[in-house]
Structure 1
Amino acid sequence: MTRKVAVFGQMGVNFAPLIEEHFAAKYDDWQVVTWPCDDDTDARDAVLAECEAAVMSADYILTPGNFAALMTAPKLKILAQPWVGTDWLDAGFLPEGLIYCNAGGHAAPMAEYVLGTMLEHALELRNMHNDMLRGDWKRAGRNAAPEARHGDLLGKHVGIIGYGEIAQAVAGRAAAFGMNISAIARSKRDKTPAPLDWIGQKAELPKLLATSDYIILTCDLNEETEGMIDAAAFKQMKDTAYIVNVARGEVIDEDALFEALSEKRIAGAALDTWYRYPVNITNAEADPDRGGPYQGSKHDFNSLDNVLMTPHMSAHTFGADRGRYVSIAETLCSYADGSAIKRHVATGSGENIDGFQMP
């Protein structure tokens, strides 16, 4: 009997050959089927009726009705997402016994993004480029004025909140730049892992905030971390501190962040994760609060000159996307072999099967 793994969504269809190469081709009884997230829901339902395993990309889950339909698939035993964050997930709205998995492959590009934003802040490349467009050479190397100089990363202190795969990749790269590195982790460590100077738990967050030149957020969003960086936390930071958020927007209190940046209480921030997202990313939507371009917050971050804004793309590289689907293929291999399932993050309980809300 042929067992089927369904790959849903246009991005999933693009990478389905990797599921075939790294999973289905290794087994005689597995076949890859796809649905590109178009208007043909009859075709979707035909695929759902037969699949034992499924992979859903973001365009699938963000299209109303698709996730609910997936939860009715009669043969579905294992479901995988090609990204890491599961703060939206509740085992209660997964059918009882359904194995839910995430994917790896994101740490390196996200760490590169973090280092890129730190370098941009230190070197002020955008500012100097804009100066040059105006014919302004005041930052030239022969100008002896202190304000002509830019910063550097060597010897600076980077504090990382959360110490999983992403944070470890950031730490390794920061060490290569000669930075001093500390971290806050959820669980206590018996010893300080290289290349950190120290690692603590949440009680030591004030110490990290007070000593860091760069504060990097990589932690999960949960009840403990939501709003963790609040108005009081900003008061503990240096006025030269720079924040990079690749975690979730809600880890930082929205009002406190805007106030700290607009009043220049800290030097600036690079924000890749937000408090709200447009429904359709390819067709511009008007901002619901102020009109004009859609913003990721109720506040007008577009008006600030000390913010670098990106649309939740730090892990969206060719290499990372490929790596995520290879990671899922490896997870499916472990499922097919009956071994410990890689990247297993939840098992459905079915206690709140209608409780799903789009992330």
Structure 2
Amino acid sequence: MGDQELPGVLVSGFEGPHGICEDHVGALQKHFNLVTMQEFLENKTYFGPKIQAVYIWGGRPDINQELLKSLPALRVVASSGVGLDHLDLKLIASFGVKVANTPHAVSNPTADLGMALLLAAARRVVEGHQLAISPHTENFSANWMGQEVTGATLGIIGMGSIGYKIAQRARAFEMKILYHNRKRRNLEEEEAVGATYCERLDDLLQQSDFVMLAVSLTPQTQGLIGRRELSLMKPTAALINVGRGLLVDQDALVEALQTGIIKAAALDVTYPEPLPRDHPLLELKNVTLTPHIGSATHQARQQMMENLVESILASLSGLPIPNEVLAT
């Protein structure tokens, strides 16, 4: 810790795959004394009472009861991204601590990636790349084909901010858009993107050429797409997931891809992350995988950092917290 006048904020660290973004450290240190988990664990008695906020980046540090008991001055947990499945909101609230996230910063880049994965699956982009660069390729077959996106039916599961922005992009491809959501959007919002509400998930699955998962992980949505749901999809359909890996029964997905129940999958998220190096999903040609990079743009990550700073400062000043998340 440096300037003792600044509020203490706990961070995972400055290095490694779970460290905070190096480019953001300087901006954060203008407002806070940053305490790494290693520093805290080495001297809990000294640092515990000084830490007023936890800055979660990439899901770290983990928030559990032991940590919360060690931070008597904690006011707010500020978590990057929109997903909250890594946080026990009721536990945190029981300590009188607020929670904030950054939903608006992730919407556009995640929607962009969702469309990128849809296009990659449809046109077999990764498989085509491997074919094009292979030292064994002697000619390109005129009959090596993919699926057309223009005019196809896209079923979006989860029509929150990300799902809606995916629909906006899909409309430019003249796609027919179906959606399934906990709550139906209003008529004006549906008409703006040409989306049709499916009250029954089964109806969406049966009609869609592409099924896009953009829903949050909750106890109700875990395993949302299993063997039965995959069997309802068209054999020419592709599943795209930009939500969370646990939304899908991966064993059932592997089976569906191997046996032709569905045509392809494109996944930015899996469980666990990364997958074990011998996992069958890594061997299938009809699978496109990316390393959970939905919000991984310089612009989005900068906005996330700024949003987290704003929420922490508001909390410490007793002001309304932007993007506060309430335990339900």
1:319 partnered with 2:299: yes
C-alpha spacing 1:43/1:333, structure 2 compared with 1 (3 Å): same
**Displacement after TM superposition at 1:69 (Å):** 2.8
Q: State whether residues 240 and 266 of structure 2, in contact with CA within 8 Å, keep that contact through their aligned partners in structure 1.
A: yes
Q: What is the SS of the residue equivalent to 2:320? A: coil
- Cα separation, 1, equivalents of 2:164 and 2:27: 27
| Paired amino acid for 2:74 | L
**Displacement after TM superposition at 1:40 (Å):** 6.6
**Displacement after TM superposition at 1:227 (Å):** 1.8
> How do 1:114-263 and structure 2 match up within 5 A?
114-132=114-132, 133=134, 134-139=136-141, 143=142, 147-191=143-187, 193=189, 194-201=192-199, 204-263=200-259
Q: What is the SS of the residue equivalent to 2:321? A: coil
> Which ranges of structure 2 fall in alignment gaps of 5 or more residues?
none
C-alpha spacing 1:219/1:100, structure 2 compared with 1 (3 Å): same
**Displacement after TM superposition at 1:136 (Å):** 3.5
Q: State whether residues 7 and 16 of structure 1, in contact with CA within 8 Å, keep that contact through their aligned partners in structure 2.
A: no
More displaced, 127-136 or 242-251?
127-136
**Displacement after TM superposition at 1:43 (Å):** 5.3
**Displacement after TM superposition at 1:19 (Å):** 3.8
1:335 to 315, 318, 321: 315
C-alpha RMSD of the superposition? 2.8
Q: What is the SS of the residue equivalent to 2:308? A: helix
2:11 to 8, 20, 39: 8
The alignment covers a number of residue pairs equal to: 313
| Paired amino acid for 1:102 | N
C-alpha spacing 1:190/1:320, structure 2 compared with 1 (3 Å): closer
Partner of 1:109: 109
Provide Cα deviations, 1:281-332, integer angstroms capped at 9, x if missing partner. Answer: xxxx9x5xxxxx264xxxx222322111223232233222212111112323
Q: TM-score normalized by structure 1? A: 0.77
| Paired amino acid for 1:89 | L
2:82 to 81, 84, 106: 84
Higher relative contact order (CA 8 A, sep 6+): 1
Q: What is the SS of the residue equivalent to 1:198? A: strand
**Displacement after TM superposition at 1:50 (Å):** 1.0
C-alpha spacing 1:276/1:210, structure 2 compared with 1 (3 Å): same
Q: TM-score normalized by structure 2? A: 0.84
**Displacement after TM superposition at 1:169 (Å):** 1.9
- Cα separation, 2, equivalents of 1:126 and 1:91: 39
**Displacement after TM superposition at 1:238 (Å):** 0.8
Partner of 1:17: 26
Partner of 1:353: none
Q: What is the SS of the residue equivalent to 2:193? A: coil
> Which ranges of structure 1 fall in alignment gaps of 5 or more residues?
25-31, 279-284, 288-292, 349-359
C-alpha spacing 1:44/1:158, structure 2 compared with 1 (3 Å): farther
Q: What is the SS of the residue equivalent to 1:54? A: strand
| Paired amino acid for 1:118 | L
Q: What is the SS of the residue equivalent to 2:261? A: coil
Partner of 1:75: 73
**Displacement after TM superposition at 1:208 (Å):** 1.0
| Paired amino acid for 1:17 | G
C-alpha spacing 1:251/1:323, structure 2 compared with 1 (3 Å): same
**Displacement after TM superposition at 1:52 (Å):** 2.2
**Displacement after TM superposition at 1:20 (Å):** 5.4
**Displacement after TM superposition at 1:120 (Å):** 1.4
Q: Percent identity?
A: 25
1:98 partnered with 2:107: no
C-alpha spacing 1:205/1:119, structure 2 compared with 1 (3 Å): same
Partner of 1:273: 269
Q: What is the SS of the residue equivalent to 1:345? A: coil
C-alpha spacing 1:45/1:310, structure 2 compared with 1 (3 Å): farther
| Paired amino acid for 1:12 | I
